[in-house]
Chains A and B, each alone.
Chain A
Amino acid sequence: NAGVTQTPKFQVLKTGQSMTLQCAQDMNHEYMSWYRQDPGMGLRLIHYSVGAGITDQGEVPNGYNVSRSTTEDFPLRLLSAAPSQTSVYFCASRTGPAGTQYFGPGTRLLVL
């Protein structure tokens, strides 16, 4: 099992550009989520999904879109990047509401 994988590991964008952060898991987990990590603020939930075709907003959803067409994949889209979106992004998955959360290695994003 590869667990939770994320690509790319590092990305530099210019303000206004768009991009997609990829996340995949091979554990057949229903629940997947995206967090951003900023210094001193811990991790904050952006969007989450409790199954294919079902997504919902977290604490800081503005500027991000998600979709969940398969159980395995949960991409995060930045429609028009802003410097405030400079952060480290973590994808996570688990079996269900009481399952252990597994995190990917993270994507470091710099928006100039």
Chain B
Amino acid sequence: GDSVTQMEGPVTLSEEAFLTINCTYTATGYPSLFWYVQYPGEGLQLLLKATKADDKGSNKGFEATYRKETTSFHLEKGSVQVSDSAVYFCALTKRNAGNMLTFGGGTRLMVKP
């Protein structure tokens, strides 16, 4: 079945450091790919998405590019802030099973001042 694999955390960075969180997927067909963010005590919020190969999703300084050749969707940000501290989830959907999301295990990011 479909699956999503993320790098294990926690990832600890200093403010203004460069962030990369790796995400790879296994799926037949052509999934859509997503990054969700979960701040402490809250539900998940959509951060960005890409629906086809070579698409780049971006939001709030975060970017991720849909790489079909490497089945990857790595999340990057050039300069993190303390307010970016959260858990980040990579996910995919396909046009079956109601297009429901398959999530990776999540990566906790901690940014220190």
Which A positions have Cβ atoms within 8 angstroms of B?
Answer: 4, 31, 33, 35, 40-45, 48, 50, 56, 58, 90, 92, 97-98, 100-101, 103-106
Contacts and interface: CB of A to CB of B under 8 A. Distances in A.
B69 interface: no
Interface string B83-100: 000000101010101111
B61 interface: no
A43 B89 contact: yes
A50 B43 contact: no
Interface of B: 4, 8, 32, 41-46, 89, 91, 93, 95, 97-106
Given A42-B4, A42-B105, A43-B89, A105 B100 contact: no
B100 A41 contact: no
B42 A101 contact: no
Given A43-B44, A101-B46, A103-B44, A31 B89 contact: no
Contact of A42 (B42, B43, B98, B103): B103
A50 B102 CA distance: 17
A31 B98 contact: yes
A103 B89 contact: no
